A and B are shown apart, each in its own frame.
Chain A
């Protein structure tokens, strides 16, 4: 709605938001770890009213020919039509593919998973890790919610039983998937001339650009994705980086308590 977007922009200029939050304030996070017993790892994350579920399945397959000694990581996302009133049926659209790609790069580039440790028999058999994201309720900022759910699901994942060259999916082992760090994504949305974090759907519509920064445990940056039509200034990027590192710390604390 145009009327709402106008108030979002004018409020942001004054450092305010429709729901009373500060510009750099994120909504309450609720994490439910391992709700899906059949998945090797899983998590439901509620970010305000946004709700996503991530599941990790681990299997055995052939490695890629260019990296015969490495395991395989695949990340997929589905915007279930259940998640939003304006869903259009059809094949995955650009935004669900972008979401999966941004989450995937965050996990990959942060070296959260050492794929070389997932080799069983070079060139023949390696562990395949599938992260699948299902959006249940979209109230904005899906990338951050999905990245968090994926990180928690991976950090809780265990290997299934593997015997005589075959996986027994019905039996899980106690051996945890080696996860070296928690990649946390933090997206800044540019509304008017201001940046705000953890946008609602209405704020996303009012935003001209966004920038997602994924950080590692040590505060280094693992991945960046700029989206939206408007340009952003180097100063804004600096601000986004600062906020992402700060929020990354806050969120990691929360995850440890979950």
Chain B
């Protein structure tokens, strides 16, 4: 089976990862999955404001996912929406279990992700970029997290849905996976699937995440070793 863009079912879109793309941020990364482009910047650990929100035992992770108005086919309204707030939350939840938060009591770790082009899979691109940005910032972590969405088109399981494929798929199932730990830190699903389908999709998504993780590590090496 060939997909609309000629890919094999388990094949990712062209994936480009670059670490250290911003200079004000402590750590940063740009991830391009097909036409989707996410830029992530990490600040901190730094002082947490307002102070009344400080957690005395651990660092607080704050995450903001935002889409640029020009990133979509039809102009997106600037500013936060219900959708961007939910994605900010799930991205944060996908990253939090990685970080040794108790090493930084009271502090804040701020993760900002700007989607500058959106063509499906923005939350998974956001997670991939943020994971590299956190590591690039020197934040102590248990591993890297990698993310990809899986779907089912014409009875076939496919990964990394492109914009045109989202409507053709029976479902959208984004997965964030920490390969070095064998753990899943984000799982969402919209659609209509048999239990067996869900199992199979998680399998191909986590396999694809292992490939993504290799590229994330390569990007970090390239940034720091000349």
Contact = CB atoms under 8 A, between A and B. Distances in A.
Interface in B25-80: 25, 28, 35, 37, 39-41, 43, 46, 64, 66, 68-75, 78
Interface of A: 36-39, 42, 49, 51, 53, 55-57, 59, 76, 78, 80-85, 89, 130, 132, 134, 136-139, 167, 169-170
Contacts of A85: 24-25, 43, 46
Interface string B109-137: 01011101111000000000000000000
B99 interface: no
Nearest to B46: A85
A36 B71 contact: yes
Interface in B84-124: 110, 112-114, 116-119
28 contacts: A36-B37, A36-B70, A36-B116, A37-B35, A38-B71, A38-B73, A38-B119, A39-B70, A39-B71, A53-B68, A55-B69, A55-B70, A55-B71, A59-B75, A76-B78, A78-B78, A81-B43, A82-B25, A82-B39, A83-B24, A85-B25, A85-B43, A132-B68, A134-B114, A137-B22, A138-B24, A169-B73, A169-B74
A130 B114 contact: no
B22 A51 contact: yes
Contacts of B69: 55, 57, 76, 130, 132
B116 A134 contact: yes
B133 to A, nearest CB: 10
A211 B70 CA distance: 29
Interface string B192-212: 000000000000000000000
Contacts of A53: 68, 116
A167 to B, nearest CB: 8
Contacts of B68: 53, 55, 78, 132, 134
A56 B112 contact: no
A170 B164 CA distance: 11
B75 A84 contact: no
A42 B78 CA distance: 17
Given A38-B119, A55-B71, A59-B75, A80 B24 contact: no
Given A49-B23, A76-B78, A134-B114, A170 B39 contact: no
A38 B23 contact: no
A76 B117 CA distance: 17
B110 A81 contact: yes
Given A76-B78, A80-B66, A84-B24, A36 B110 contact: no
Contacts of B64: 81, 89
B24 A139 contact: yes
A59 B78 CA distance: 16
Contacts of A38: 35, 70-73, 117-119
Contacts of B74: 57, 59, 167, 169
Contacts of A81: 41, 43, 64, 110, 112
Q: Which 3 A-B pairs have the closest CB atoms?
A: A55-B70, A169-B73, A57-B75
A132 B117 contact: no
Contacts of A138: 24
Contacts of A56: 70
Contact of A137 (B23, B73, B116): B23
Residue among B68, B74, B113 with the most chain A CB within 10 A?
B68
A134 B118 CA distance: 15
Nearest to B164: A170
Given A57-B70, A81-B41, A137-B23, 4 more contacts: A55-B69, A82-B41, A85-B43, A134-B114
Contacts of B66: 78, 80
Contacts of B113: 82
Contacts of B116: 36, 53, 55, 134
A36 B117 contact: yes
A118 to B, nearest CB: 16
B117 to A, nearest CB: 5
Residue among B40, B43, B70, B110 with the most chain A CB within 10 A?
B70
Contacts of A39: 70-71
Contacts of B73: 38, 169-170
A136 B70 contact: no
B23 A139 contact: yes
Interface in B156-186: none
A130 B73 CA distance: 13
A201 B39 CA distance: 22
Contacts of B37: 36
